[in-house]
Copies of this chain bind each other. A is one copy, B any other.
Amino acid sequence: MSPIRIGLVGVGKIARDQHLPVIAANADYELAAVASRHGRVEGVPNFADLAALLANATDVDAISLCTPPQARHALARQALEAGKHVMLEKPPGATLTEVYDLIDLAREKGLALLATWHSRYAPAVEPAKAWLAGKKLLRVHISWKEDVRYWHPGQEWIWAPGGLGVFDPGINALSIITHMLPNALIVDKATLEVPANRQAPIAATLEMHDHQGLPVRAEFDWRQTGPQTWDIIIETDQGTLTLSRGGAVMSINGVPQIEQKEQEYANLYALFARLVAERRVDADLAPLRIVADAYMTGRWVRVEDFVE
C-alpha cells in the first residue's frame, strides 16, 4: 500500500516535539504539506492556512490538526468536506457539540476520524489495566499537579474560553482512567478555582463515583512548584496500583514494575493508519464529557490573580 499523504496544520510545540518526528519515522506516512501561521517545515510545501493547503496540495489523503481547540471545528469540517481523513489533537474541541458534529460528518462521508488521547498510550496503561482485571476496586485517587509557568509558557489559548485551563492537563488523567475503569464516572461534586483575572480554572477537585459505588477523586492543580505529580492510585482488594509520571511507570504496593519505552504518538499514528485503511471513526468523548459535567455541576471559587 502506498503511504498516507498527510498534511499537518499548526506547527507549534506539540507538532515539533511529537507529530513531525513520529510521521518521519513511520513508513505508512509521507508528510505532504504543512499549514501554519508562524511555523515552517523544510522540504515540503508550506501554506498559510488549511484552505490554501487543500486548494494546492490536492492529493493529500489526511489532515492532522495540531492547532488550539478553539478553532478546530471549522478546520476539521473543511478537511472532511474536502474528503480528507482527520486526526484531532486533544482535547478534540472547545465544545462537545462540535465534536459530535464531526463524528456525524465523518460517518456520513465514510472518512476516518481520530480524536486522540495520547496519555492512553503511555507505556504503563495497558499493563496496569491488565493487572486490575478481576480485582475488586476500592478507591481511586488522581493527583495531577504541575507548574503552569513551566509547562505552558505564554500559551494564552489555554486560559481563553474553550481552553479549559487546568483541565487541559487534567483531561489526560481522565483519558487514562476512563480507559482503565469498567464503568462510567458520574461527577457528584466539583470545585473550580478560577483566578480573579482569568476565565479558566487554575485548580479543580472532582468527586466522582461509578454505579457500583467506587469513589474516584481527582485533584488538578497548576500552582505546583517543586516536585511535579501526575499520579493515579488505585486501591484494590489485592493491593495498591500506582501509575506515576503520567502513566509512564507502574508500581504495585510501592514496588516499581518493568518500565517500557514511551511511544504515545507512535501508537496514535499507527492507530490512525488503521482507521484510514478501514475508514473508521474513533472518538471517545468520555474524558471531555466529565470536564463538561464538572463545569456544569461545579462550585466556582475565585482565587488570586494569575500573573505569568
CB distance from A165 to the nearest CB of B (A): 10
Chain B residue with the shortest CB-CB distance to A162: B297
Q: Which of A2-10, A47-55, A184-192, A220-228 contacts B (4 or more CB under 8 A)?
A: A184-192
- Closest B residue by C-beta to A291: B296
Q: Return the CB mask of A91-118 against B: 1 if under 8 Å, else 0.
A: 0001111101100100000000000000
**CB-CB < 8 A to A292: which residues of B?**
96, 289, 292-293, 295-296
Cα distance, A194 to B302, chains bound together (Å):
13
Of all chain B residues, the one with the shortest Cβ separation from A77 is: B211
- Could you say which residues of chain B place their CB within 8 Å of the CB of A74? 211
Interface residues on chain A, number (Cβ under 8 Å): 36
Within 8 A of B (CB), among A35-59: none
With contacts A186-B73, A299-B161 taken as known, whether A293 is within 8 angstroms of B199 at the C-beta atoms is: no
Write the chain B residue with the least CB distance to A300.
B300
A38 to chain B, nearest CB (A): 24
A290 proximity list for chain B (CB < 8 A): 97
Whether A247 sits at the interface, judged by CB under 8 Å, is no
How distant is A305 from chain B, measured CB to nearest CB, in Å?
15
Known: A161-B297, A162-B297. A97 touches B184 (CB 8 A): yes
Give the Cβ gap from A308 to chain B, nearest Cβ, in Å.
20
Determine whether the beta carbon of B95 is less than 8 Å from that of A186. Answer: yes
Give which listed residue, B95, B286, B293, B297, contacts A187 with CB less than 8 A.
B95
Residues of chain B within 8 A of A123, CB atoms compared? none
In the complex, A298 has a CB within 8 A of chain B: yes
The yes or no answer to A234 lying at the interface (CB within 8 A) is no
Beyond A95-B187, A97-B186, A292-B295, 5 extra complex contacts between A and B, CB < 8 Å: A161-B298, A164-B296, A199-B300, A292-B296, A300-B300
Leading 8 A-B pairs by shortest Cβ distance? A95-B293, A292-B292, A295-B295, A101-B184, A161-B297, A162-B297, A295-B296, A98-B186
Question: Could you give 11 example pairs across A and B, Cβ below 8 Å?
Answer: A94-B296, A95-B187, A95-B296, A97-B184, A97-B289, A98-B184, A162-B297, A194-B300, A199-B299, A289-B292, A300-B300
